[in-house]
Amino acid sequence: MPLTITSRDNERLKHAVRLLGSAKARREEGLFVIEGARLCMDALQSGADIREVYATEAAAKRYENEVQALFAAGKECFFLSPSAAARLADTKQPQGIFCVCAALDKQARLYTIKKECKILALEEMQDPSNLGAVLRSAEAFGMTGVLLSEGCCDLYNPKVLRASMGAVFRLPFVRTPDFEGALLELSANGVQTLAAVVDAEAQAITKLDLKGPAAVVIGNEGNGLRPQTAALCDKRVTIPMKGRAESLNASVASAILMWEMTKE
Amino acid sequence: MPLTITSRDNERLKHAVRLLGSAKARREEGLFVIEGARLCMDALQSGADIREVYATEAAAKRYENEVQALFAAGKECFFLSPSAAARLADTKQPQGIFCVCAALDKQARLYTIKKECKILALEEMQDPSNLGAVLRSAEAFGMTGVLLSEGCCDLYNPKVLRASMGAVFRLPFVRTPDFEGALLELSANGVQTLAAVVDAEAQAITKLDLKGPAAVVIGNEGNGLRPQTAALCDKRVTIPMKGRAESLNASVASAILMWEMTKE
């Protein structure tokens, strides 16, 4: 029977709260927090290394099967009083289920995901909800993997995890300090690199042959791709637009490009 | 020279704050509030009826041309002290420019937008950021107009206006209490009505001939289309998905469907 943590000042709880709020702490310790029955089950089913499980008594009743499975899998398990659970909750209506997981060992090497691949490469995508939505779309469209620049929002940010609907647990990804080098390596290995730009002079995504290996490279929400990054891609591509709209929402633009790369 | 409102309890300011926060007040008075230089200029350039303009002194310096143009167009104009402006701001970093506009006279009749049209029909889309994003995409892809059920989020909600990037001012729309009747009328007039569903048995959007007049009908974010609504559409369509993703984000799914209807 797991112990119950009732104090909001419990050291273990405070440690989990710190992981929830700090990308630095997550990076240094190689741990992150997930919340909610569905996301925790996604972690379990994807073989994530679940170090700690926390659940309220109410959650253990309401999500009986899930909490049993998580308690069986977690290395250390605890019940939380409602007030202790409230400290760890990042959502408005928390379900009272949380796990602390080890950072995913999905950091596939580029060369393992480059054959016949469709890669999504993100440069400095900083909004966590955008990043999560983009990962969700990437999984739904069957992208092979995701390449992220160091400047991207932390993948283990609670908003990213939530918006990704668990895709973080299933999509291979590489986070690299040498984003430009990685793009050049892809190109040298026969993966067509496509810089997504807002520019009516660029090639329309509808006019390209996207059958072979390809990587679409998408920039920051506000500023787009850095010109020097776009310059080292094989092609510049754009989504033709009508009306007076100047651009699309970043997660929508990413989705359209991935859709065109993968649809059958 | 416009008067300056310094009191946070000024009656006129309180009236605008009420419009900002209450869909009921907006509906009863036929007025709504917009914020920011860009959105206010969108309103002006789209011929919106600008009843009141508010700007801080700082905004009048920083956005000199915009504030001059808005002061010239607005029926009543005021400077706001910073603390008065803070009451009216709905964003984290307000620019200090606001307009009160009359509800748009864009409520195009269905029969005026039905020839060779591509219509987006939304049933109970309730998240304002989703609705705004969908309208932004609809404009970018050149959709003819938007049909909304009464249960949709208020178009004049500040979050909708902001996420739409001004598309609300330019896209024809109809909000109707008889959504089902409107769909039947479209169908009877030769507009193919397509119920968007998450169902691998439905027709893939990629396999349909979408050249003629068509309306894509999209449901609530959490629950999808009501079955009785889907049943009275001509066809059920779906976006083929891979991996373990169960669905797409509502604004992404809407964008993919509109893209397939309109791309050239």
Q: What is the pLDDT of residues A20-73, one digit of tens each?
A: 999 999 999 999 999 999 999 999 999 999 999 999 999 999 999 999 999 999
Instruction: For residue B257, list chain A residues with Cβ-Cβ distance below 8 A.
Output: none
Question: CB neighbours of B28 closer than 8 A, spacing ≥ 6?
Answer: none
Contacts of A141 in chain B (CB under 8 A): 241-242
What is the 3 state secondary structure string of B27-53? HHHCEEEEECHHHHHHHHHCCCCEEEE
pLDDT number for residue B142: 92
Superfamily of domain A3-102: Ribosomal protein L30/S12 (3.30.1330.30)
Q: Which pLDDT does position A202 carry in this prediction?
A: 93
Chain B residue closest in CA terms to A166:
B245
| Sign (positive or negative) of CA dihedral B10, B94, A247, A139 | negative
Count residue pairs from A and B with Cβ separation < 8 A: 93
Residue B60: per-residue pLDDT: 95
Contact between A136 and B255 using a beta-carbon 8 Å cutoff: no
List C-alpha distances in Å: B119 to B112, B113, B170, B173. 12, 8, 15, 10
Report, as ranges of residue numbers, the positions in chain A whose pLDDT lies below 70: 105-115, 245
Return d(Cα A127, Cα B30) in angstroms, integer.
Answer: 35
**Strands of chain A, DSSP E:** 3-5, 31-35, 50-56, 76-80, 97-102, 118-122, 145-149, 173-176, 192-196, 203-204, 214-218, 235-238
Cβ atoms of B35 and B90 closer than 8 Å: yes
Report ipTM (2 d.p.).
0.86
**Which tens digit of pLDDT belongs to each residue from A94-106?**
899 999 999 986 5
Cβ distance B233 to B217 under 8 Å? Answer: yes
Q: Do the beta carbons of residue A244 and residue A124 sit within 8 Å?
A: no
Q: Do A136 and B170 touch (CB under 8 A)?
A: no
Residue of B nearest to A249 (CA): B133
A249, two tokens: 């929402």
CATH 3.40.50.1980 fits A110-262, yes or no: no
Query: What single-letter amino acid sits at B198?
Result: V
Q: Do A136 and B244 touch (CB under 8 A)?
A: no
Cα gap B148→B154, rounded to integer Å: 10
Option in B140, B247, B252 nearest A251 (CB): B252
List pLDDT tens digits, range B64-87.
Answer: 999 999 999 999 999 999 999 999
- The token duo for A214 is 């390809």
Lowest mean pLDDT among A133-142, A223-232, B26-35, B113-122: B113-122
The amino acid at A9: D
Q: Do strands B97-102 and B31-35 pair parallel, antiparallel, or not at all (unpaired)?
A: antiparallel
- The answer to whether residue B114 scores a pLDDT higher than 80 is no
Q: Residues of chain A whose C-beta is under 8 A from some C-beta in B?
A: 133, 136-137, 139-142, 163, 165-167, 170, 206, 239-249, 251-252, 255-256, 259, 262-264
User: Is B142 in Cβ contact with A264 (below 8 Å)?
Assistant: no
Q: Which of B46, B176, B160 is nearest to B101 (CA)?
A: B46
Q: Where are the domains of chain B?
A: 3-102, 110-262
Over its C-alpha atoms, chain B yields an Rg (Å, rounded) of: 20
Instruction: Select from A167, A249, A256 the Cβ nearest to the Cβ of B259.
Output: A256
pLDDT, one tens digit per residue, over B134-143 is: 999 999 999 9
